[in-house]
Structures are given as structure tokens and as C-alpha cells.
Amino acid sequence: MRFSRVTVPTLKEKPAEAQIPSHELLLRAGMMRAVAAGIYTMLPLGALALQRVEDIVRREMNAAGALEVVLPTLHPADPWMKSGRWHQYGPEMMRLGDRQGRDFCLGPTAEELITEAVAKTAPSYRDLPVNLYQIQTKFRDETRPRFGLIRGREFRMKDAYSFHVDEGDLDRTYDRMRQAYSSVARGCSLPVRVVEAVTGLIGGDVSHEFMVVSGIGEDVLVYCGDCDYGADAELESHSPGGMFGGTEAAAPQEVHTPGLVSVEEVASFLGTGPASVTKCVLYVAGGEAVAVFVPGYREVSETKLARVLGTDEFHPMREDEREKFPAVTAGYTGPVGLEGVRTVFDLEIAGARGLICGANRPDYHLGGVEEGRDFAAEPAFDVATAVQGDACVRCGGELRIARGIEIGHIFKLGVKYSEAMGASFTDRDGKDKPMIMGTYGIGTSRILATVVEQHHDDGGIKWPVSVAPLPVEVLVISPGRREQAEAAERLTRALAGRGMEILVDDREASPGVKFNDADLVGLPLQVVIGKKLDSDGTVDLKVRYTGERRAVRVELAVEEIERALEEAP
RNA sequence: CGGGGUGUAGCGCAGCCAGGUUAGCGCGCGUGCUUUGGGAGCACGAGGCCGGCGGUUCGAAUCCGCCCACCCCGACCA
């Protein structure tokens, strides 16, 4: 493959729309171009890299016993009506009509179609389990496409679906897929944390996300530094680090705190920190006021609160609702003597002493408050977010909080779709039963961006060998010199003979341009054919990842390249 | 969807507030000569419905209105 401008149209300057390294570098390295918000064209090198990722996924899926299928991207509305998701999905689903006015959508995922397809085979227990996957373009009209390939509206995803006679059988496949996903991440040189996750719109009750810790991640995860516990921040559980409490007193003392409402304001006014201030967040649920108390350095987790309240029909109290609930004093609500309001206490409040709380009258707080003596925090629930310093519920190790990129998500679905689509099998006893399902998604285009996010430097991309679009770039410094051009030609042919296609930069350009473009494009090895060929019969071999560079004799170049590729990351 | 911002050559930007001949700059692109191991030099050149529609005006890239697109923050989603 030759490095003409059309094949690899590199950009010297950073495109204005790129906010993160992977987005910038994929554009600048000439791997892709934007078409519309969240929609991209993959150019030759980008398409090759995507294929590498998808080849790895395919290999691991096949190894895990899954069979590849191809489902349509254009879905009729009917199966989505049956599952109820035609309406649940809302505007995120790309919808369109055909010339007859029939409703279609561009598939955001494919539980409905695959379940229908398997249902039509009318399997018996002897035919199960079955695990089918596809690698296909998906469509979600994201409210906010962002970060290039990280969150697009059209993207590539591998989705797999398994069908089982019982939960135990599902568990076996689920574990296998979990292993396979870890292998995919390893194969792509991505360090991954497996975390417990919420199931959301897909449904089901158990799910795990595969997260790559990254500052640009859109999700927050909590994980243990000592064991393999990890969870999405929305449903993590933690043991409080025992940081809550302040100066104790024989009895609560009222202090004047005019106009001071936030935890930070009150704490700094009283010369202390958020560790001794009780935060109160007011909600309205079922027409009733709910006062939620958490330590000042934590936030209320609305996911956890929904579990406590038994409903997700609640919202933060709006200013215009306050007059309806005279029992609470906006900004100064405290647990002492609070009546006529539903209260929810965080676990960490139980037993805490020396607290600063709202005094339930404007412009006053109470200091030296003690739980158990001045109010009762019961029942208490885990309703707060984790913070650095909390302990792992499993091993007591220190929890860490980080942002992460979700590259994969697997679910134990149960019978949600098989019941809706009438997908049953004939069991040993001759009776029809709904199949138990699992569903497993992994974003291949997102993995591509994540690899770049994890493997780059100021000069450009540093492709790991496994996902590099091509293994080697040959830079011909003076393509006008016949010796150099011929050496490049011989090397290209020799490597092709070993099944290795390479990129050759034979442009008439100054050397600096080629060096910089080679670093930007980031193929694992660079072979520089230049003046040393004439002077001492050598070419330079540079390892992009380490920057290491050495001269090798041109007739040994093929062996040296093969060896270097085995050693490179 | 709420808030903010930006649309001027392939890319990055200036000009707009204070309307006035031919709309600039850098990179990239073409031609010629020189150069050839870390983004070369000189010379000449091509390339613009100034996002779209409408309005104000003698005159609009510039002022006003509507629309569209893109980006950021939030909400949403998983």
C-alpha cells in the first residue's frame, strides 16, 4: 500500500471538532473523516484497524462456541412492538417508513430479531444451548454524540445472544462469554476492569460492564485495589471509611449561619470541613416530601434512593414546591426534631457524633449533634455515592473511583424477550417453555478509539501489533535514487511473500515530513531506507512504541522485522 | 431538550463590534529551479454562492429575523 495523499491523507493541524486524543489522531492520521455528527467514513488504514479488532472479536467468539450470523440493519416495527421497545426506546431509535408507509427502524441492537429467528426453528431441549453473534453496524440517535468513535450515532458492534433450557446453562455460557470478553480486551492491549452494572433498557437482572479506566471515560466506576470487586458507580456498595464526625458536645448548640446553605459554605464558616456536616437533599415522591441525609462529602445516589423508595417516580424538590411542605426549611433542614417528613438516612450517619446539621429554622445550624442521642437514624440505608477511602465490601481493601470507557456489556436476560416473542422450546417432559436468554455486546469501533486513547504520545498513535492496520511502514528518503527505490521494492516483495502487507512512503517530500507522518500514523515498525544504504548497506529499523532505533543490514531486514514484531507490544 | 459558542478556500484562522472599490493570513495544493535523515528555500499560480433564506440600506461577510449545521456544558441514554 502506497502512501499517496488519497490513501493516507494526514493533517498537520488539529481539527477543531476533536476534543480528545483518539478523535484528533484518527482524523489527523488519515484513518477516518467526519460525515455528520457521530457518523464517520473509515478510510483505508482506519478500515484495516477496525478489521483487526473485529478479527480478534471473531476469533474469541468462535473459540467460545458462538456462531456467526448476519442480521439486517433495517428492522420492521412489528417485533419491536411485540417486545414493547418500539415505544420504550423513544427518540434514540432511528425510525423511518417505507413507500407503503410501514414503520421501520435502523437496528440499535437485535434481541427482537434474533429471538424471532430462533423461535422459528422450534427447538427442543436437545438443540440448546445455542449462541449466535454478528458484527454489524448499529444505529442510536444519541442525544449527544461525542468524542468521535467513542460515542457515535452509527457505530460497529458485535452482539451475541444465547438461548438456554435453564439458568444453570445460561450461567455456563455467561461465564464463557465473560472470559472471551477479557480475552478480547487483552488481545487489543486494553487493560479492562469487569464491573457489576445496571441493566437499564435491555432488561434482565445480572449484568457486567467491561471498563477501560480513562480520564475521558463517560462512566464512573468503583473498584477495589486489592481484589477483583468492581461496580458501576450507580450500584456499587461500600463500607464507609469512618471519616464522618466532628467536635462532640454535651448537647446540640445552635449557631447563627445567615444565608449559608451549601455544605462547603457552612463548613468553612464554622472552621471545619465537609466531614462533619450533614447534607440534606429534599425530594418529592408520591406527593410526599422526602429528606435524604448523607455525609457532607458524599452525594445522594438516585439509583440507590430508588431502591429504598421502591419507585423511580421521584424528583428533587423544586423551589415552587417548597410552600407545599412547610415541615422542611430549604437549606436548613436537619434531622433533630424534624417531623411530618419522610426521612432516609445513609448508613454512615448511624453512630456519628459531633455533627453539624440544619436547625430546621432559617439561618441556623446545630453543632455537636449526636446520632442516637439527638435523633435516630433508622432505618438507615446505603443511599450515598462512594468516595475515595471507602472500603471494599468483599475484602476490606481500599476502593478506587475512576472514570471508564465501557467497551463491552453482558447481560443475563432471563425470559423477557423469549416470552414476548413466543420463543419457547420443548423440554424433556414434552412441555413448551420459554428459552432463558443472555445477551452480550462489545463495541468494536469504540474499542478502536479506546486503543488509540490508551496508546499514543505527542507524535501520534502507537499501535499495538495486534490491532495495527499494517505492521510496517517503509520510508524511502530519496525515492528518486534508484538504489533506494529498488531496495524498497525488494523489501515489499519479500515481506509480501511472507504474507505481510506493508505501507510504503515513497512520496517526493522532505524527510521530516515522512518521519512525522510515520510517527503520526503509528505503525509498529518503521524501516528507513536512506543514505546509510549507500554508505554501509544498512537501513534503520525503528520501533514506534519504544522509540528504539537501530541499523540493520538490508539483506537481513526481513528477519529483523519479523523478530522485532514478535517483541513489540 | 435547556444553556453557551462557532459557521469565511481542503485544514487552521483573521476581518464583523464602528457596512464602503478587487475578502486576507498560515498550512496544504499546482508549475519551475534549488534542497534531501526529523514538518526545506525562492518565484509564479490555482482555489471562496463569506452555512442557507429573507429583510434593512445607495451599498451587507459585517446590521436585523428565521432556518440549518457543527462544537462545548447539562439533562438524557447504556
A547: nt with nearest C1' to CA: B38
| pLDDT of amino acid A264 | 82
Amino acid whose CA is nearest the C1' of B29: A5
Mean pLDDT to the nearest integer, A480-490: 93
Strand B: which of residues 199-218 in chain A lie with Cβ below 7 A?
A: 199-202, 218
**In the numeric block, which cell numbers belong to residue A222?**
468503583
| pLDDT of amino acid A319 | 74
Separation in Å: B26 C1' and A9 CA = 19
- Type of residue at A365: H
Separation in Å: B48 C1' and A17 CA = 22
A515: nt with nearest C1' to CA: B38
| pLDDT of amino acid A302 | 84
Calpha distance A261→A249 (Å, rounded): 23
- Type of residue at A137: T
Q: Is the CB of A138 under 7 A from strand B?
A: no
| pLDDT of amino acid A78 | 94
Q: Is the CB of A36 under 7 A from strand B?
A: yes
In chain A, the domains with their CATH numbers are 42-234+401-452 (3.30.930.10), 253-381 (3.90.960.10), 470-567 (3.40.50.800)
**Residue A487 near residue A554 (C-beta atoms within 8 A):** yes
Separation in Å: B17 C1' and A122 CA = 73
Which of A302-316, A372-386, A434-448 is least confident? A302-316
A539: nt with nearest C1' to CA: B37
Residue A388 clears pLDDT 80, i.e. is over it = yes
Residue A387 clears pLDDT 80, i.e. is over it = yes
Q: Is the CB of A96 under 7 A from strand B?
A: no
Q: pLDDT band for position A167 (50/70/90)?
A: very high
Mean pLDDT to the nearest integer, A437-457: 96
Residue A205 clears pLDDT 80, i.e. is over it = no
User: Alpha helix (H) ranges present in A199-322?
Assistant: 263-269, 302-309
Q: A3: helix, coil or strand?
A: coil
**Residue A418 near residue A166 (C-beta atoms within 8 A):** no
Q: pLDDT band for position A9 (50/70/90)?
A: very high
Which of A129-143, A307-321, A450-464, A553-567 is least confident? A307-321
Separation in Å: B23 C1' and A506 CA = 38
A481: nt with nearest C1' to CA: B36
Mean pLDDT to the nearest integer, A172-181: 97
**Residue A541 near residue A475 (C-beta atoms within 8 A):** no
Mean pLDDT to the nearest integer, A510-517: 95
pLDDT tens digits along A10-65? 999 999 889 899 999 999 999 999 999 999 999 999 999 999 999 999 999 999 99
Q: State the average pLDDT for chain A.
A: 92
Question: With a cut of 0.95, is the ipTM above it?
Answer: no
A42 membership: H or E segment, kind and range: strand A39-42
Q: Is the CB of A530 under 7 A from strand B?
A: yes
Separation in Å: B14 C1' and A125 CA = 72
CA distances from A421 to A120, A170, A262, A425 (A): 10, 19, 51, 12
User: Alpha helix (H) ranges present in A84-166?
Assistant: 85-88, 111-119
| pLDDT of amino acid A434 | 96
Separation in Å: B32 C1' and A12 CA = 26
Residue A491 clears pLDDT 80, i.e. is over it = yes
Q: Where does A509-565 show beta strands of DSSP type E? A: 525-529, 538-543, 549-553
pLDDT tens digits along A521-569? 999 999 999 999 999 999 999 999 999 999 999 999 999 999 999 999 9
**Residue A361 near residue A326 (C-beta atoms within 8 A):** no
pLDDT tens digits along A330-373? 788 999 998 888 999 999 999 899 999 999 989 999 999 999 99
Calpha distance A188→A492 (Å, rounded): 26
Q: Is the CB of A55 under 7 A from strand B?
A: no
Kindly state the DSSP code that residue A556 receives in the 8-state scheme: G
Residue A237 clears pLDDT 90, i.e. is over it = no
